[in-house]
Structure 1
Amino acid sequence: MKGIYRTLLFMPAIKKKWLEQSNQHVADAIIFDLEDSVPIDLKEEARNNVKSVLASVKWEKEIWLRVNKHLTGYAREDLRLATHPGISGVVLPKVASVEDVLQVHQQLLLLEQAQGLAPQTIAILPMLETAKALWFAYDIAMIERVTGIIGISSKNGDVERSLGTQWTPEGTESIYLKSRTVMAARAAGKTPIGGLWQDVHNLTGLKKAAQRNRQLGYDGELVLHPSNVEVVNAIYAPTEEEIRYYEGLIEAFTKAEKQGVSAVMYEGDHIDYAHVAMAKERLAYAQQLK
């Protein structure tokens, strides 16, 4: 993925004014949603809204497009719209197999050629919402055009229906699917994205859920409501306390190393080169957020 993705905020494409105001939100990226938030008979109007807004607004954020899936594959009209200037990639819902993603890859190749775009200009971000997709998470993540994979758990959602799990606020039932997604993404060198908190006005619950997802290794989350963005952004950003800890760790280790020591105690913890590497990564990430 091109940038930092602590939050990817959904915007219903049928709400033109909402799309126009997307730049005002602090989300790291915006997803213009053509799928579940748009009534079936208003899909064409939603696509027209996206075209109009992309042409009239100077975008400062990355824009993604969640496309519709039919029985025969993903909507051609939606994929064609994804080649419009300003779109970074497509979010594929209800991915059922590796073949689903490869089919979209081939369709995008033809569309990119027709539009005079370089091959693989349009990225793919698959949502692993079926048991089969979750099982083949690594194979999906290894597809070159795939820039990250999404492993979510939402109340009464597609994943719950596919796996037969029962949603709980604690998320115990989703630990395996989330960890599987994270491991597959990391092994493939791609970005793991989580979510999806539906009780959007329960910010305490959102914070706890985001903290659990962060602990499991996700880089960021899908977000349904603008009020949720700052909460999730804060969870995925190093705190001032963490920054001070990492800076102190590197300083302590550097002093020890000059004395010929490569393992030292720091604030009660044993540290060595591995811990320094981690500290440097977290500080570099914090610098990117500024």
Structure 2
Amino acid sequence: MTLDIRPYRSVLYIPASKERALEKARSLPIDAVIFDLEDAVAPEEKPAARATLAEALKTSYGGRARIVRINGLDTTWGEEDARAAAQMACDAILLPKVETVAQLDSLAQMTDKPLWAMMETPLAMLNAHQIASHPRLQGMVMGTNDLAKDLGSRFRADRLPMQTGLGLCVLAARACGKVIVDGVYNAFKDDDGLRAECAQGRDMGMDGKTLIHPAQVEIANAAFAPDAAEIDLARRQIEAFEQAQAQGQGVAVVDGKIVENLHVDTARKTLAKAEAIAALAG
């Protein structure tokens, strides 16, 4: 699957120090795993967590993307994390609190693996396009908890205080052809709240959502996947447009709405995403 087709609907954080959680992730219907060496691991456990994770990654996680989040390079553990992750059987390395291209450059010197960036500070929002433009960057992860802390904003279900930051990052990711995954929803027992926030992220253009609990997976997978109606419409748009072209016309009409090249392009991406999701499930 190419970068723009591989699904990232559900991206679950797993503490790198928890062998049981590392094993359980192999059986969950998730698109990607963030193996966390940073916030989820206590300082005294970090060296052992590196070894635990390296061993776990020797066994397949199927088609799930394997992303290792290291500690910041300005911390006691960051450089050792980076050098260890570079030797692990993972697909990418995620750097926390990225604010400048120079931080990604430093990590790029330590590994040949694709890089991901945590976007979680006001400065990161302002530098989003520069960060997304980095040639080694593959994806961006919104760190909405840290962003809210730095903004000094209050919690709102509509996330109005962080809409500017979220929007800047989506624009940057799309301009540079990078994956972008929304931040976590903390109330893991609040299905309705999660469903609403997933819908908001999907409507904004996010590729998926980071999750903190397996109970959130089903909702995220449904929210960020094309539903039956979208798939049906996509097929009918493509068919109608191809028929119009065969008749020498540049546009078609489906359900009373004009269908042009740009709509067909979106329709083809919808079908490709549905096929990729089916292949991952299979």
Which residue of 1 is the match for residue 116 of structure 2? 125
Kept in 1, the 8 Å contact 2:11–2:30? The answer is: yes
Q: Does the 8 Å contact 1:150/1:181 carry over to 2?
A: no
- The answer to whether the aligner puts 1:10 opposite 2:1 as a matched pair is no
Among 212, 227, 241, the residue aligned to 1:224: 212
CA distance in 2 between partners of 1:238 and 1:138 (Å) = 28
Deviation at 1:72, TM superposition (A): 5.3
Percent sequence identity over matched residues? 31
Aligned mate of 2:98, from 95, 99, 119:
95
Does residue 27 of the first structure (1) align with residue 21 of the second (2)? no
* Structure 2 unaligned spans of 5+: none
**Counterpart Cα distance in 2 of 1:58 and 1:257:** 46
Task: Please say if residues 54 and 89 of structure 2, whose CA atoms lie closer than 8 Å, have aligned partners that are also in contact.
Answer: no
Instruction: Please tell me whether residue 264 in structure 1 is matched to residue 252 in structure 2.
Output: yes
Q: 2:131 aligns with which of 131, 140, 148?
A: 140
Q: Which residue number corresponds to residue 53 of structure 1? A: 56
What is the CA–CA distance in structure 2 between the aligned matches of 1:32 and 1:189, rounded to whole Å?
24
For 1:165, the aligned partner's letter is: S
Q: 2:107 & 2:216 partners in 1: Cα distance?
A: 31
Report 1:89-238 matches (<5 A). 89-108=92-111, 120=112, 122-153=113-144, 157-238=145-226
Per-residue CA deviations over 1:171-206 (Å, capped at 9, x if unaligned) read 122221111111101111211211211111111111
Tell me which amino acid in the other structure corresponds to 2:40. S
- Residue 70 of structure 1 deviates from its aligned partner by 5.8
Task: Call closer, same or farther: CA 1:256–1:165 in 2, change over 3 Å.
Answer: same
SS in 1 for 2:7: coil
CA offset at residue 138 of structure 1?
Answer: 1.0
State the Cα deviation string for residues 61-84 of structure 1 (Å, max 9, x = none).
332111112645861121122123
Q: Out of 247, 251, 256, which is 2:235 matched to?
A: 247
Kindly indicate whether structure 1 or structure 2 has the higher relative contact order, using CA contacts under 8 Å at least 6 residues apart.
Answer: 2
Tell me the SS of whatever aligns to 2:86: coil
Alpha-carbon offset, residue 144 of structure 1: 1.2
Task: Give TM-score scaled by structure 1 length.
Answer: 0.88
Q: Could you list the runs of 4 or more consecutive aligned residues of structure 1 that deviate by over 6 angstroms after TM superposition?
A: none
Which residue of 2 is the match for residue 115 of structure 1?
A: none
| Residue 67, structure 1, aligned to residue 70, structure 2 | yes
Q: Aligned with 1:184: secondary structure?
A: helix
Q: Could you report, residue by residue, the CA deviation over 1:148-185 in whole angstroms, capped at 9, with x for unpaired residues?
A: 112342xxx21112223222111122221111111101
C-alpha displacement of 1:58: 3.0
Once the two structures are TM-superposed, the CA of residue 7 in structure 1 deviates from its matched residue by: 1.6
Question: Aligned-pair RMSD on alpha carbons?
Answer: 1.8
Q: Which residue of structure 2 lines up, in the alignment, with residue 113 of structure 1?
A: none
Q: Distance in 2 between matches of 1:74 and 1:39?
A: 11
Q: CA deviation at 1:218?
A: 0.8
Distance 2:61 2:224 in 1: 24
Say how many residue pairs are matched.
274
Larger mean CA deviation between 61-70 and 169-178 belongs to 61-70
Counterpart of 1:11 in 2: which secondary structure? strand
Instruction: Tell me how far apart the structure 2 counterparts of residues 15 and 125 of structure 1 sit (CA, whole Å).
Output: 23
Runs of 5+ unmatched residues, structure 1:
109-119
In structure 2, how many angstroms separate the alpha carbons of the residues matched to 1:133 and 1:278? 29
Separation in 1 of the partners of 2:230 and 2:80? 46
